[in-house]
């Protein structure tokens, strides 16, 4: 009998083609509404593998109910949606898709920063809505980024890629805070790892760390209060790294200049959320890895992780607790 993989959302067809070529039956959830926790369990019980999304919570109950699975392949680099400890107790390998979305994610962080610093959204609105009446010497004055400092929190692959684009492309000075000192980064920018406090005093603060118990609400009333009034805040990592109530207060009272978020808590963020009522924020719907190139490569890795996992072989990329 063929092995079956349940895919919780439609993903690029390169994945399904590869799986079928390897004699694996593919069952994809095609409803517009994502499967609930219960539906993932029901479908998981009929399969030997799952390709899951960052938004699918695979918790203890899931693993208790689907302990027969041979592999779970997350269609993402982040795996904070998965209870890794229980997965490991059940001996279920967990795959992820690192590297291939690094540039796409750093590019989106750059989009958010440039859009904020050059008042892109309000100026597009002005032109489109007939308010563009004259060339305005004092209109839409933005902030130059050259020679400004970029404070990166979490200097992994994506943080490093963003640093490179901002330093070599825009002439920004890099400051970073990370779990470890990173010698090649220090060498490249002639710097040393900084404290969190020092990093927060940069002209731009961008979050690139994982979500875990030590980074949950890392950005809160206290840490935001260390930022400059003229600073921009960017988050393309996970929404829960930020205490959103505190961010709202900070933006409402103009304690920082603006924020660009690709991730929120919850996701989707309801349109009635108070953050949407602010002028000094840009929110995108978790699209950092959304380029055709990145998503095709993520799909290929996710499929290969399933194929290898079903054969009992080591995954291309895996994570452990
Ligand atoms: C990831 O891969 O972790 C992203 O957040 C989803 O693209």
Q: Report CA(289)–ligand 1 centroid distance (Å).
A: 6
Residue 62: its pLDDT value, please? 98
Residues 6+ apart with CB under 8 A from 151: 175, 176, 177, 194, 198, 199, 200, 201, 202, 203, 204, 205, 206
Residues 6+ apart with CB under 8 A from 33: none
One domain, residues 115 and 199:
yes
The Cα 42–Cα 55 span in angstroms is: 17
Residue range(s) defining the domain that contains residue 144: 102-283
For residue 40, what is the domain's CATH number? 3.40.50.720
Residues 6+ apart with CB under 8 A from 254: 229, 280
Residue 321: its pLDDT value, please? 83
One domain, residues 216 and 275:
yes
One domain, residues 236 and 305:
no
**Both tokens of residue 115?**
């859009």
Residues 6+ apart with CB under 8 A from 46: 4, 6, 27
**Both tokens of residue 240?**
């829960």
Active-site residue identified among 238, 240, 295, 317: 238
Active-site residue identified among 10, 64, 267, 274: 267
One domain, residues 59 and 115:
no
Q: Whose CA is nearest to atom 1 of ligand 1?
A: 76
- Write out the chain's pLDDT in tens, 321 residues: 899 999 999 999 999 999 999 999 999 999 999 999 999 999 999 999 999 999 999 999 999 999 999 999 999 999 999 999 999 999 999 999 999 999 999 999 999 999 999 999 999 999 999 999 999 999 999 999 999 999 999 999 999 999 999 999 999 999 999 999 999 999 999 999 999 999 999 999 999 999 999 999 999 999 999 999 999 999 999 999 999 999 999 999 999 999 999 999 999 999 999 999 999 999 999 999 999 999 999 999 999 999 999 999 999 999 988
- Contact between 24 and 6 under an 8 Å Cβ cutoff? The reply is no
Measured from the CA of 76, which atom of ligand 1 is nearest? 2
One domain, residues 117 and 243:
yes
Of 8, 76, 103, 299, the residue with max ligand 1 atoms within 8 A of its CB, to mutate for a pocket test, comes to: 76
One domain, residues 145 and 221:
yes
> Count of alpha carbons within 13 Å of 268, Cβ hemisphere only?
8
Of 288, 293, 297, 298, the residue with max ligand 1 atoms within 8 A of its CB, to mutate for a pocket test, comes to: 288
**Both tokens of residue 308?**
């290898």
One domain, residues 131 and 85:
no
One domain, residues 156 and 214:
yes
Q: Whose CA is nearest to atom 4 of ligand 1?
A: 76
One domain, residues 159 and 178:
yes
> Count of alpha carbons within 13 Å of 214, Cβ hemisphere only?
7
Q: How many structural domains comprise the chain?
A: 2
One domain, residues 155 and 203:
yes
Which residues pair with residue 72 across a beta bridge? 50, 94
For β-strands 204-207 and 173-177, DSSP reports them as unpaired
Catalytic (active site) residue 238 = yes
**Both tokens of residue 79?**
């795996």
One domain, residues 226 and 153:
yes
Residue 65: its pLDDT value, please? 98
Which residues pair with residue 151 across a beta bridge? 175, 205
Name the pTM for this structure.
Answer: 0.96
Catalytic (active site) residue 267 = yes
Q: Which of 157, 153, 160, 286 shows the shortest CA–CA distance to 215? A: 153
Measure Cα distances from 6 to 69, 94, 96, 193 in Å.
Answer: 11, 15, 16, 43
One domain, residues 212 and 106:
yes
Q: Report CA(319)–ligand 1 centroid distance (Å).
A: 14
- Contact between 265 and 241 under an 8 Å Cβ cutoff? The reply is no
- Contact between 163 and 184 under an 8 Å Cβ cutoff? The reply is no
Residue 80: its pLDDT value, please? 96
Residues 6+ apart with CB under 8 A from 187: none
Measured from the CA of 74, which atom of ligand 1 is nearest? 2
């Amino acid at each position: 009998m063929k092995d079956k993989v349940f895919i919780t959302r439609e993903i690029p067809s390169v994945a399904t083609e590869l799986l079928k070529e390897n004699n694996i039956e593919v069952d994809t959830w095609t409803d517009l509404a994502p499967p609930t926790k219960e539906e993932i369990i029901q479908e998981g019980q009929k399969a030997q593998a799952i390709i899951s999304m960052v938004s699918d919570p695979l918790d203890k109950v899931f693993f208790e109910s689907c302990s027969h699975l041979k592999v779970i392949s997350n269609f993402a680099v982040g795996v904070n949606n998965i209870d890794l400890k229980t997965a490991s107790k059940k001996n279920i390998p967990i795959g992820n898709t690192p590297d291939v979305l690094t540039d796409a994610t750093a590019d989106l962080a750059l989009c958010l920063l440039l859009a904020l610093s050059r008042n892109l959204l309000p100026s597009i609105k002005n032109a489109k809505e007939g308010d563009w009446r004259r060339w305005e010497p004092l209109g839409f004055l933005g902030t130059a980024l050259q020679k400004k400092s970029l404070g990166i929190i979490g200097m992994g692959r994506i943080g490093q890629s963003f640093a490179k684009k901002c330093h070599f492309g825009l002439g920004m000075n890099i400051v970073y805070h990370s779990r470890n000192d990173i010698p090649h980064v220090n060498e490249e920018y002639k710097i040393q790892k900084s404290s969190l406090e020092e990093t927060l005093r940069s002209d731009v603060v961008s979050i690139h760390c994982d979500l875990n118990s030590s980074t949950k609400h890392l950005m809160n009333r206290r840490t935001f209060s260390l930022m400059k009034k003229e600073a921009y805040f960017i988050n393309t990592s996970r929404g829960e790294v930020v205490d959103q109530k505190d961010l709202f207060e900070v933006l409402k009272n103009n304690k920082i200049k603006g924020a660009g978020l690709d991730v929120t808590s919850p996701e989707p963020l309801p349109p009635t959320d108070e953050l949407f009522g602010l002028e000094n924020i840009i929110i995108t719907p978790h699209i950092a890895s959304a380029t055709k190139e990145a998503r095709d490569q993520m799909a290929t890795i996710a499929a290969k992780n399933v194929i290898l996992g079903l054969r009992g072989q080591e995954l291309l990329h895996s994570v452990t607790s």
